[in-house]
Amino acid sequence: MFLAKDCLGQTAWHNAAGRGQVEVLDKLWNWAKELQLTPEELRNEMLLSKDMYKKSALQEAAQGGHVKILKKLWDWAKELQLKPEELRNMLLSKDKFKETAWLNAANSGHVEILQEMWDWAKELQLNPEELWNELFLSKDY
């Protein structure tokens, strides 16, 4: 029920992440585990799910400047043992407008969000050239 999507393709998960509602996100995560969603369902329907604009919960949190939410999403991704490629995609994926979470955070002036994602990129040992391209050349005009 809480994985149902609205007319924008967003779940309650997306909305809670975008609005910085930590308690709601925690409750949804706990209910999902109580309902015994599989790790694949948790990964695909919650952490990696995208709305009609191809925006993830992580992108919503980055754009809104919600550091606690961003950290929780990352911790849950690691708890589910997402593969390095999936973690990389969480950080670098582009929405329908070819914007990344990095660009959204920068456009909104969220320095702490940028620092968190930078630390994660280093932890993942992302290729510097690829990271440069994604950070500074992410939009095709």
Cα separation, 137 vs 52, whole angstroms: 23
Q: What is the pLDDT of residues 60-107, one digit of tens each?
A: 999 999 999 999 999 999 999 999 999 999 999 899 998 889 888 989
What pLDDT is recorded for position 137? 65
Cα-Cα-Cα-Cα dihedral sign, residues 21, 45, 7, 31? negative
Of 47 and 4, more confident: 47
pTM for the model: 0.89
What pLDDT is recorded for position 53? 94
Q: If one looks up domain 12-136 in CATH, what number appears?
A: 1.25.40.20
* Helix residue spans in the chain (DSSP H): 12-19, 22-34, 39-42, 57-64, 67-79, 84-92, 101-107, 111-123, 128-136
What pLDDT is recorded for position 141? 45
Q: What is the pLDDT of residues 29-60, one digit of tens each?
A: 999 999 999 999 999 988 999 999 999 999 99
Tokens of 126: 């992302």
What pLDDT is recorded for position 23? 96
What pLDDT is recorded for position 87? 92
